[in-house]
Structure 1
Amino acid sequence: MESIKIFGVRVDNVSLDEATNKIEAFLKDEGLKTIYTPNTEIVMACKENKKLRNIVNSGDLIVPDGIGLIYASNIKKKPLKERVTGFDLSMKILEIANRGGYSLYLLGGKEGVAKKASEKIKEKYPNIKVVGYHNGYFKGSHLGEKDHPEEIAIIDEICGKKPDIIFVGLGFPKQEIWIYENKGRLPSKIIIGNGGTMDVLSGNTKRAPEIFQKLGLEWFYRLIKEPSRIKRQLVLPKFMIHVLFSKDVIE
């Protein structure tokens, strides 16, 4: 699989269809495959933090969930095929699971979000077996408390129910850390860190209108809705400045 590195972060050069095909292959393969969905904010954090960078780079599939990554790859003449968002890929995973009758576990979100998301999934995808869910408020590896009793209880539950697929929505970098620290003891086929996907699935959060999605301006839509995100969103222009004026941006 062809890939590039942006500030040392591996990004696989795949289209949504190609990523979907990889997921189908993963589900038929042995062992657990990890999926990460870096955007510009994540890449900038990984640029400054080697441990996070190594965690993301360890993924079996790493898709470009950020329009800034597409711009950077074009500017530096190593173009990525297209933006592949974690949400869109998660929807493809649900379609595959529905066709194949695969099982799913949801981990993350505020109290009640994963439960509500599971109900919505069952309505739309009746062939998916949602075998369990848990909110994201527990002590564990993502908080520097590996093997805390609360984490062990969740892992025991997952091991008992043996879901084919696990959605982890703890937000970056917690979800990536949790996946990395625990992937060796989970009996599933694929695990994806997909941020706020469960919030959208549950109906608690609305995704940006399609025109914003097509233009790669979902970040701007969220900023309009949540002005408090301004500090986080400033990372995009900072990223582009680094792209324009730094050497060895892309390998």
Structure 2
Amino acid sequence: MHKPEFDNVSVGGIATACVGRKQLAVLVGQICENYVEKQSPFVIFSNNGHAISIYNSDKEAREQMDQADLVHADGQSVVSFSRWFNKTNVVPERTATTDMIHDIPNFYQPTLKHFLLGGKETSVSKAGEILAQTYANFDVVGHQHGYFTDDDETAICDAINAAKPDVLWVGLGKPKEQIFCIRNKHRLKVPVIISCGGCYNYITGEYPRAPMWMQNAGLEWLFRMANDPRKLFVRYLLTNPHAIYCVIKHGLAKRTPA
């Protein structure tokens, strides 16, 4: 198995990869290149304020996150947090999942086969069409909406394996997508699994991206909340302060002598 090399830094208790956008995209491609049958999938999860809050308050979510092979900085806040208590190992830049799905075909030229799982049928199918039309090296070999039960998972995994993708994108929302990935990891014969939340809706334009200045300032969450306050206001109101508290708690604990 190809063992990618990267440093980690603890951000809110979560071991987060110190990788940039190009490095992460190429790393995914190299894992696919070197994949051999019967090898366990390389699982990639994301870290942001919501993830930090869940990780520190839900034992099951924490156990799922700890089983990932790599956790990347989906939120700009994670990039900043990584520098609060560290001088050397820090996250160089944000690797938002909504960018990563484009970064892979942009930075890794060989064609990879992708399977998109999650979201509404209309959203995931349209996202697949857009990606395949935009990138000649992004081969969409299948898709499946996210409205299924636990009893459906075996059949879904069989369909994914039959399609033989290199990368499986799982967009079911936290913590459901992490639970699905870890619970079915032994069933899936794919090189890489990436959790991707609501990524498909951004590809289709159903969810707008924040202006670049807000993304760079770590304020994309504010833009998203303003666009969907009914769904996101309470979430951000509760999780953002809790995430900051957890980052400080873990950072101070690391500095305290045993």
TM-score above 0.5, yes or no: yes
Q: Aligned partners of 1:86 and 1:215: how far apart in 2? A: 17
The offset of 1:237, in angstroms, is 2.6
Matches within 5 A, 1:125-144: 125-140=135-150
Contact 1:36 1:62 in 2 (8 A): yes
Structure 2: give runs of 5+ residues left out of the alignment: 1-5
Task: Give yes or no for the alignment of 1:107 onto 2:117.
Answer: yes
Instruction: Tell me what 1:189 maps to.
Output: 191
Q: Aligned partners of 2:157 and 2:91: how far apart in 1? A: 36
Q: Secondary structure at the match of 2:114?
A: strand
Q: Aligned partners of 2:255 and 2:225: how far apart in 1? A: 28
Contact 2:12 2:243 in 1 (8 A): no
Which residue, out of 6, 11, 16, partners 2:16? Answer: 11
Give the letter aligned to residue 87 of structure 1.
T
Task: Give yes or no for the alignment of 1:48 onto 2:48.
Answer: no
CA distance 1:20–1:156, shift in 2 (3 Å):
same
Task: Give yes or no for the alignment of 1:122 onto 2:132.
Answer: yes
Which residue, out of 83, 86, 94, partners 1:83? Answer: 94
Structure 1: give runs of 5+ residues left out of the alignment: 141-147
Q: Show CA shifts across 1:74-120 (max 9, x none).
A: 222343322221112221123357x3222111100013111111111
Contact 1:105 1:163 in 2 (8 A): yes
Q: Aligned partners of 2:243 and 2:163: how far apart in 1? A: 42
The offset of 1:218, in angstroms, is 0.6
Instruction: Tell me what 2:31 maps to.
Output: 26
The offset of 1:182, in angstroms, is 0.8
Q: Aligned partners of 2:107 and 2:93: how far apart in 1? A: 21
Contact 2:56 2:246 in 1 (8 A): no
Q: Show CA shifts across 1:203-248 (max 9, x none).
A: 2222112221122211011111112211111221332244446632
Contact 1:68 1:240 in 2 (8 A): no
Which shows bigger deviation, 197-206 or 106-115?
197-206
CA distance 1:34–1:198, shift in 2 (3 Å):
same
Task: Give yes or no for the alignment of 1:248 onto 2:246.
Answer: no
Which shows bigger deviation, 231-240 or 190-199?
231-240
Which shows bigger deviation, 110-119 or 13-22?
13-22
Q: Aligned partners of 1:162 and 1:123: how far apart in 2? A: 20
Instruction: Tell me what 1:162 maps to.
Output: 164
Q: Aligned partners of 1:60 and 1:214: how far apart in 2? A: 27
The offset of 1:54, in angstroms, is 2.3
Which residue, out of 213, 218, 221, partners 1:219? Answer: 221
Q: Aligned partners of 1:49 and 1:245: how far apart in 2? A: 16
Q: Secondary structure at the match of 1:172?
A: coil
Which residue, out of 236, 244, 255, partners 1:233? Answer: 236
CA distance 1:181–1:250, shift in 2 (3 Å):
farther
Contact 1:107 1:136 in 2 (8 A): yes
Contact 2:118 2:170 in 1 (8 A): yes
Matches within 5 A, 1:199-218: 199-218=201-220
Q: Aligned partners of 2:19 and 2:62: how far apart in 1? A: 20
Please, what TM-score do these two structures have when normalized by structure 2?
Answer: 0.86
Number of paired residues?
Answer: 242
Seq. identity, %: 29
For the aligned residue pairs, the C-alpha RMSD in angstroms reads: 2.1
Contact 1:40 1:239 in 2 (8 A): yes
Which shows bigger deviation, 157-166 or 240-249?
240-249
Q: Aligned partners of 1:153 and 1:64: how far apart in 2? A: 32
